Structure 1
Amino acid sequence: MVFVLDSNRKPLDPCHPARARKLLKAGKAAVFRRYPFTIILKERRVADSTTHAHRVKIDPGSKVTGIAVVNEVTGRVVWAAELTHRGQQIRERLLARRQLRRARRSRKTRYRKARFNNRRRPSGWLPPSLASRVANIETWVKRLLRLCPVEAISMELVRFDTQALQNPEISGVEYQRGELYGYEVREYLLEKFGRRCAYCGKENVPLEEERQRILREAAMDYLFELMSEASEDHWAAGWMSGTEVALWKAIQQYPQPLQWGMGPIALDTVRKLRDLALAVEGWWEWTDDGQRFVPLDEWERMYAQYFRKKESGNAEGY
């Protein structure tokens, strides 16, 4: 369908493309806009025409939003479109800007002071990618209001109540009272598994929560993330070649700072790396197949062997 405006640019009911072609050919109308295609009548006003109520329907999405204009009387869709959002593109450009500004602080140019933490976010603040999505939808709705006699707007709101799916009669304070309500965690686990070992099924034996194993795995992950962040800060690379050797060397000569990449490694970072390595009794190494966790005694042998090869001029890897 083609949008139609009267001589005062007030919206009329959309018409069929064949009718629009006849009006244009007869000289009774002119092209007002190419997209969405709109014509303007030269000798017609809203007061002399009959208009029907229309509704704008919106189906929002993270990447694509569907928009349709429906005639309220006939229920017919007179116009529809898909609006593609730029959220991912905005995110990538903001990330590139942040990396360029971070790199500028280490180049031999006028120092650019970091100001990303000095700005206060106003009330109702939205991330730029989400704000772009909202602004795109709002812009197109306002545009359609100027081209069509719209009297209502509908938006699809998709919300799932996962607790109501399991218990349709749930209400009120029951949402805050889950399976653990009224139980201590240990007693809950004992009752859940029938006071038997969850792995071997033994009974009448001391049962313990797997807290130590979980904490150790979390510490190993944090150690890897800390090493990657140190490489990113000093080389702008996720894992610079020789990162594990350089960071271990910084631990060995603590509290003397080690110059690495763009500057000395922070003593607070070195202290955290040392404490984590002792806690998990190991160190991370990067190989051609990816990262590998090495026990501490094995890593110390590898570290000493690496420097022996370096002194002889045959050091490879790392």
Structure 2
Amino acid sequence: MRVFVLDAKKRSLDPCHPARARQLLKSGRAVTYRYYPFTIILKDRLVENSVTHPHRVKIDPGAKVTGLALVRDDISKVVWAAELEHRGEIIHQRMLERASLRRSRRSRKTRYRKPRFDNRRKPEGWLPPSLESRVANIITWVKRLVRWCPVSAISLELVKFDTQKLQNPEISGVEYQQGTLFGYEIREYLLKKWSRRCAYCGREDVPLEVEHIIPKSRGGTDRVSNLTLACHECNQRKGNMTAAEFGYPHIQAQAEQPLKDAAAVNSTRWAIFEQLKRFNLPVEVGTGGITKYNRVRLGLPKTHWIDAACVGESTPKELFVKCSSVLVIKATGHGRRQRCRTDRYGFPAAHAPRRKKYMGFQTGDLVRAVVPKGKCVGVHVGRIAIRCRPSFKLNGFDVHPKYLKILQRSDGYEYEIHSVSSPGLKAGAPDAI
């Protein structure tokens, strides 16, 4: 991957080869600006005295991982690539836990926050927090790339999943238009589907209850494919288990594959597109079919960052791809707002301090520790977890803050560089530019 370069006024120049960056740093002409992604500042260079070339940011949005690629248009070369891991599922789980905690405290008449009336209108374009975080992560990194590199255009895969086709690929005609529950109430549909008997013990002529094959507390949904019928005894014995854990794997096999990921991509695609237009740059959109066609035509393997490099009709006939490593970016957030930690029964167990910094350090800061003595003697680099006392966690051991030096402040993301097997360098590709 290339190294991002800024001029003396922190304006973007063309990325350079890592070997060239080492020369500039060794000679004193440049200093380190960021470690992830690695960025340097030239002390003796300005944009007015430099030649820059157009680059294109290419995005392949995903529900869990988004591919990012930076392509230099004039030579059709991928100069930087990354995979951005979202935390939408974690946010969703924490909101479920918070709602469950509040419900339990309300039912016990203990101290609680009163429920709000459901009479508020949601603004146009509203997204739940778990989806909003995905959009915010992508826009944040596009902003950073535009700031660190001379970007002249953006390409986005504007994909749409047909969830009904994903469930039943053979559906067509009138059945496709009508949908699964046409002419049925949900309970009547389930009675017909499960032959009016308990799906687990097979009993008939008993009161049947609508039951989730994968419980909602375990990530199950209210989709009709995740519902079945069970007698009261089986429903109580099953409790919080899935059908497979309850001893009926064939019942769980009837539950279709979850469509949460497809729904997340469908819900966020236009929000990403509308926010990308605010950069005042040309925004090209492409379909998933075009991405796959370009990747197959170029003979490249399927990964998130390679899919991003193949997005849109702007993908050239020959794309020079030579990346020995890819930056993996994991969204971690900026900590919790919750001050009172509770036990599993909802009673206060601990109180977190309001301040997030101690002695100038914050959890998530990238630091270098030079420990002169003790069992952890040596030089260590990593991210710290602070405590409100001079004893921080670094790479699994305790270290005093006086031995630490900050390399990069916490910005809500964790970084790893993963080595990849290069998909191959096309004939005639420039080796170092």
- The alignment partner of 1:73 has SS state of coil
- Tell me the alpha carbon deviations over residues 225-254 of structure 1, each in whole angstroms, 9 at most, x when there is no partner: 3899xxx9xxx9xxxxxxxxxxxxxxxxxx
1:26–1:113 distance in 2 versus 1, CA, 3 Å? same
- Within the candidate set 204, 214, 219, 2:192 is matched to 214
Alignment partner, residue 178 of structure 1: 174
1:218–1:20 distance in 2 versus 1, CA, 3 Å? farther
- The alignment partner of 2:174 has SS state of coil
Map of 1:153-302 to 2, 5 A cutoff? 153-159=154-160, 178=174, 214=192, 223-225=208-210, 283-286=231-234, 287=237
**C-alpha displacement at 1:119, in angstroms?**
3.3
1:284–1:291 Cα contact (<8 Å) kept: no
Structure number with greater Rg is: 1
Which structure's residues are more often helix, by fraction? 1
Map of 1:1-318 to 2, 5 A cutoff? 1-115=2-116, 117-159=118-160, 178=174, 214=192, 223-225=208-210, 283-286=231-234, 287=237
- The alignment partner of 2:232 has SS state of strand
Which structure's residues are more often strand, by fraction? 2
1:6–1:58 distance in 2 versus 1, CA, 3 Å? same
Amino acid at match of 1:158: V
Alignment partner, residue 404 of structure 2: none
1:119–1:45 distance in 2 versus 1, CA, 3 Å? same
1:42–1:178 distance in 2 versus 1, CA, 3 Å? same
The TM-score, its normalising length taken from structure 2, stands at: 0.41
2: distance between equivalents of 1:179 and 1:95? 35
Gaps of 5+ in 1: 165-175, 182-209, 237-279, 293-318
1:284–1:29 distance in 2 versus 1, CA, 3 Å? same
Amino acid at match of 1:22: Q
2: distance between equivalents of 1:37 and 1:117? 48
Amino acid at match of 2:159: V
**C-alpha displacement at 1:121, in angstroms?**
1.3
Q: Percent identity?
A: 58
Amino acid at match of 1:214: K
2: distance between equivalents of 1:137 and 1:118? 32
Gaps of 5+ in 2: 166-171, 178-187, 200-206, 218-228, 239-244, 249-433
**C-alpha displacement at 1:163, in angstroms?**
11
The TM-score, its normalising length taken from structure 1, stands at: 0.55
Q: What's the RMSD between the two structures over aligned residues?
A: 3.9
**C-alpha displacement at 1:214, in angstroms?**
2.0
2: distance between equivalents of 1:45 and 1:157? 37
